[in-house]
Structure 1
């Protein structure tokens, strides 16, 4: 091909002014994964590197403004297949070379299964996942939930396919007045075990009036009927100490929650006078001591007798007192 023919071609192609200036076209266009091939004159062609292909040839011409694309393609490669552990490309979709638009399916190895068919397509960006998945050991599938018992299950695989790791099921109860006991969402683990036990449904039971508390009271006005998970709060009378949580909760028709009010101790001056004792410290000069309080005594005359120590602690209304003679 001579230069006059090239100029004629460019004139017919678009009346483009051609410059042979090496300055205007000193820098070649950047075409990834391609090698440049020079032809006659100022027209250059690009060919893709080994392992890459293009649906259209890339051709540029040098003009007074620099390189101008006559035809532009993109080099891509689908020679390296996607990595899917424990799987291989199915015989139906296997080829020696893949072009843009080709689709491959993966088949799991023996002993492994997948949910949907794993599918990839060759594109100008390389392999793209149409339907991505994994091949899991068939022994790691999770048990199906029991049928019936008023529980509705959402998300079960079709056609009794195995339930594979990472699969999620959602549970709910049928009919009004039923309540789900347990977790509403379960996930199948890699070991073939669900992350929580299967839930169950039970009729919603109401609780009656909350039980009374000895030496205590219910805060607020009690009702005659309570729903599931309703709770009431209790408080102890003055000088009484509550042991346990201050709440009782309605659970399936029964009140749960344990507490009691620990009694204070009473120390009268008549008893202390009869035992010839008094409070050692002025700040302990109190006739009522709450549970856990410690009191210190001293002899008003004589000295201690017996085995009871001069320091005593109130224990749910009981406190031994020392004696002096």
Structure 2
């Protein structure tokens, strides 16, 4: 069996009877004939002769075989020997593509969607796998324009952390900071792009826990370590009944979450 495999990989079959058309010895870019040094001095190859070839790293034959057989025919080498570039597509900087994490073959085109305010060079919609690799790196770059922005939008319960100006150059950015007891939601930094500011953040109201309401509902904090009378949005507050009182509300309502400055108090009787 080993002798048979060796004979096949050597790629040299006995010459066909009679002299028909011949093929030039194949020269394969980014590939090699099996035992090429043994045969490369041959100027002409008779019809019926076959070889096996393999491709260099990052290249593959159309059949994607480790060794691909080609035969000399009257029309030339069949199939035509070639090694095609294999391009790995990573993630897209400042954009996205369904092709991320996949390997593509020479000639394939990958579509890319850039984030708002970014684009590929020359506003292309995709990049192509070429013999030398990707035609353009998968990077979406900022789109700059001559249009400036006015003052940044005001955000309730927030202020920008720098001195405001009347106008801002394209690409400028500012940051917001919420007032004490308010929680910032969204991106604290906004950027001027094409005369428009990106979406500003919001400052969510804190829940002020009323001692008067707690007394009216006969409540106390479940944990004696809790001292503050406010909670940020999404924080959880746990209540318990004061001594001598029992729950009149379902147990689940004694552990409540602050939602946009609002709390629903349970009751003890």
TM-score between the two structures when normalised by the length of structure 1 = 0.41
Structure number with larger C-alpha Rg: 1
TM-score between the two structures when normalised by the length of structure 2 = 0.49
Answer 1 or 2: higher relative contact order, Cα 8 Å, separation at least 6. Answer: 2
